[in-house]
Amino acid sequence: DVKVTQSSRYLVKRTGEKVFLECVQDMDHENMFWYRQDPGLGLRLIYFSYDVKMKEKGDIPEGYSVSREKKERFSLILESASTNQTSMYLCASSFPSAGGMYNEQFFGPGTRLTVL
């Protein structure tokens, strides 16, 4: 079974802190994604990566950065946490798309981040 793990299930941080969210997948997937999930807004893509050291902005990259130093690990960084970044953060991975068509994305359990 594909396994995507996230470093924390719950995290509480203070405004202005630097926050690291870690994601690891064990299926040798090339693609990795970071989403945030808020009530009524669905999943919104923050950043994604198609390969090691490669990253692309998603729909809402402001206030975030990412790091992909190894194929299995994709980190989301909040440089200076703010209260509007309180949310559920979901990591996902997938095999590369063939002919432009996406493959199924496998999700981690999520990290619920609260910024006070």
Partner 1 sequence: GESVGLHLPTLSVQEGDNSIINCAYSNSASDYFIWYKQESGKGPQFIIDIRSNMDKRQGQRVTVLLNKTVKHLSLQIAATQPGDSAVYFCAENTPMDSSYKLIFGSGTRLLVRP
* Positions that interact with partner 1 (CB under 8 A): 4, 35, 40-43, 45, 90, 92, 97, 100-102, 104-110
Q: Minimum CB separation from partner 1 for residue 64, in Å?
A: 18
Scan for tokens 């919104």, then name that residue.
44
CB closer to partner 1 out of 20 and 50 = 50
- Measured between alpha carbons, how far is 92 from 58 in angstroms, rounded to an integer? 13
What's the min distance (Å) between Cβ of 97 and partner 1?
Answer: 6
C-alpha to C-alpha distance for 9 and 71, rounded to whole angstroms = 22
Between residues 43 and 52, which has the closer beta carbon with respect to partner 1? 43
The least distance separating partner 1 from the CB of residue 80, rounded to whole angstroms, comes to 26
Structure tokens at 48: 């994604």
Q: What does the CA dihedral 112, 4, 78, 63 come to, rounded to 10 degrees?
A: -100
Closer to partner 1 by Cβ: residue 68 or 108: 108
- Distance (Å, rounded) from C-alpha 62 to C-alpha 33? 15
Instruction: Using the minimum distance from each CB to partner 1, give the nearer residue, 75 or 105.
Output: 105
The least CB distance from residue 15 to partner 1, in Å, is 26
Label residue 63 left, alpha or beta by phi (over 0 means left) and psi (-120 to 50 means alpha). left
